[in-house]
Amino acid sequence: MRVVITGIGLVSALGSSACATWQRLLAGESAIQVRQPFAAIPPLPMALIGKHPQCLQSICEEVVQQAIADAGLSTPQLDCGVVIGSSRGAQANWEAWAGRFPFPCQASDWWQALPNLAATTTAQILGTRAPVLAPTAACATGLWAIARGYELLQTGECERVVVGAMEAPITPLTLTGFRQMGALASTGCYPFDQQRQGMVLGEGGAVLVLELASLAAQRGASIYGELLGFGLTADAHHVSAPDLDQRAALTAITQALHRACITPAQVGYLHAHGTATDRNDRHEASLIQTLFPKALPISSTKGATGHTIGASGALGAVICLLAMRHQQLPPCTGLSSPAFDLNVVRHAQTANIRYSLCLSFGFGGQNAAIVLAK
């Protein structure tokens, strides 16, 4: 059964909608600025949506409402499935309770801030009685959520599913943890660059409305693209470092291409994970060089939006859909001196894109890939 995307919602530090984010992305702008939201932590580059760290629930509500409206739907949606993930969940609320630092959104009871907060909030907005799932797969969470939604449609459990991921990772514990690991940049995010310093945390979320093509046609819905295939694997190697033999990561990508019934040469654009850390970029560049023609255009948008952790794959999927709709390649913001022999997009340009591939890699060796078609 064919699965299509009929609605998208996106909020990032770069823009309050998919359109606003896309326009600033094409212009090569970045939302990353050096900030100090917590007195006990020195100033660091980060990508905040507003002047202060956001609440996960508010991001979720905005993104879901955008997607539902964009799909031309109204609530309640009693039979609409939900697969909305988050790596950090409502961690900021728990830190606020434990450390008593000010935070804009605090639930009155602990059970209102469980890790599945984004999924349950979405379910309440939709008023659904269908399956509600809340996957967590580190930085691969967004693509895992999209894949699980695809499966709900293929198995006949649902005819329509809202999928995606949100993240509000600007918290003392998250900043301190990545800083102690030596993973955070000191000035900015420069994916695949010789001078890359590390990752920059960013806030945001993205949601897609998936439907069976027959249902979308029946109601005359506008279609962004088609979800053709996915691949999901795990390295089972290390808590944070990728497995250098790359077998599991290669399998995830080749599975996605096989299920989509396309060859590597047919991919017109690849949205890379591209965190700007030394190990990730080196690992990912090697994967791309192993599987794909040298001419394949690739970019990472984390130099513009920051790394939205679990939400990054969902943001990447929306960027792929917009690239195919507008037939434009988004630039890899932050890249000035390429470190790898790849066709990294330096400036926005037109292109003929029929198929796009989005990659995500997460701690614990999580590997995820999805193929989308125009």
* Token pair belonging to 7: 């609605």
* Token pair belonging to 31: 């939302």
Nearest by Cα to 301 from 13, 25, 70, 19: 25
Question: Which one is catalytic: 55, 158, 307, 320?
Answer: 307
The phi and psi torsions of 223 (rounded to 5 degrees) equal -115, 130
Active site residue 139: yes
Nearest by Cα to 272 from 347, 195, 333, 201: 333
Question: Which one is catalytic: 60, 80, 189, 273?
Answer: 273
Distances from the Cα of 315 to the Cαs of 129, 180, 291, 304, in angstroms?
27, 27, 24, 12
> At how many degrees (to 10) do helices 56-70 and 117-126 cross?
40
Is residue 89 helix, strand or coil?
coil
Nearest by Cα to 1 from 212, 258, 226: 212
3-state helix, strand, coil in the chain (%, to 5): 35, 25, 40
Active site residue 283: no
Q: Is 266 exposed, middle or buried (0-12, 13-18, 19+ CB in 10 A)?
A: middle
Question: Which one is catalytic: 55, 80, 139, 158?
Answer: 139
Dihedral angle over CA of 151, 70, 48, 364, nearest 10: 10
Active site residue 273: yes
Alpha-carbon span 31 to 13, nearest angstrom: 6
Length of the chain: 374
> At how many degrees (to 10) do helices 172-181 and 91-99 cross?
100
Q: Which residues contact 184 (CB under 8 A, 6 or more apart)?
A: 44, 175, 178, 198, 199, 200, 201
> At how many degrees (to 10) do helices 278-291 and 247-260 cross?
50
Q: Which residues are catalytic?
A: 139, 273, 307
